[in-house]
Amino acid sequence: CELVLCARREERLRELAAELPTVCHVIAADVSDEEECRLLYSAVRGDDLEIVINNAGFGLFGVFTEMDMDKQLDIIDLNDRALTAMCHMSIPYMAAGSRIYNMGSMSSWQPVPYINVYGASKAYVLSFSRALGVELEKQGIRVMAVCPGWIKTEFFSHAIHDNTVNYFNRYYGPEQVVAKALKDMKRGKDASVLGFPERMQVRLGKL
């Protein structure tokens, strides 16, 4: 098993690769840039892809009309356009038994004021992933949206610029999210929601 690690910061990728007990290929690229996205797949073209994880994304907290428009459009470019492109370019290199994990959010399930563009972008991820999974079922390729609550990552250092959102009532670690996603993929689910309170919130949102 070999891994292809892709993100913007090459130094951080190489630090991660050094910690992993497998062969890693490091590719520094900004997947929100369509040209760089294509270059990434030029580098791995011809290789079989067993697992694709679309984890890149960011959001901004604040009042929609008071935030920079271009930055909010950047959210859509990374969270939606790049994810869609990565799926489209990956599938030709995937066979039966391959899996795609797309990072959604608890925000995928309902409108979220003061982080509305981010929430809407993650609603796209959930809907897209579920529909794509149905289309790829005959090929034996599984697709799942991973929709956790608040996770302890660098997301918050980039997202929070004011006090419009302050209900960070429960945090989970990345390891918990991964363990739950792997378990739910084996169970054949099309969406993974970590935590009993979060699953109840999803159900209430549906009502």
Query: What whole-number distance in Å separates Cα of residue 63 and Cα of residue 57?
Result: 19
Dihedral angle over CA of 101, 104, 105, 109, nearest 10: -120
Query: What whole-number distance in Å separates Cα of residue 129 and Cα of residue 83?
Result: 10
Catalytic residue at 118? yes
Q: How many CB atoms lie within 10 A of CB 183?
A: 12
> Residues 41, 101, 118, 124: which is the catalytic one?
118
Residues with catalytic annotation? 118
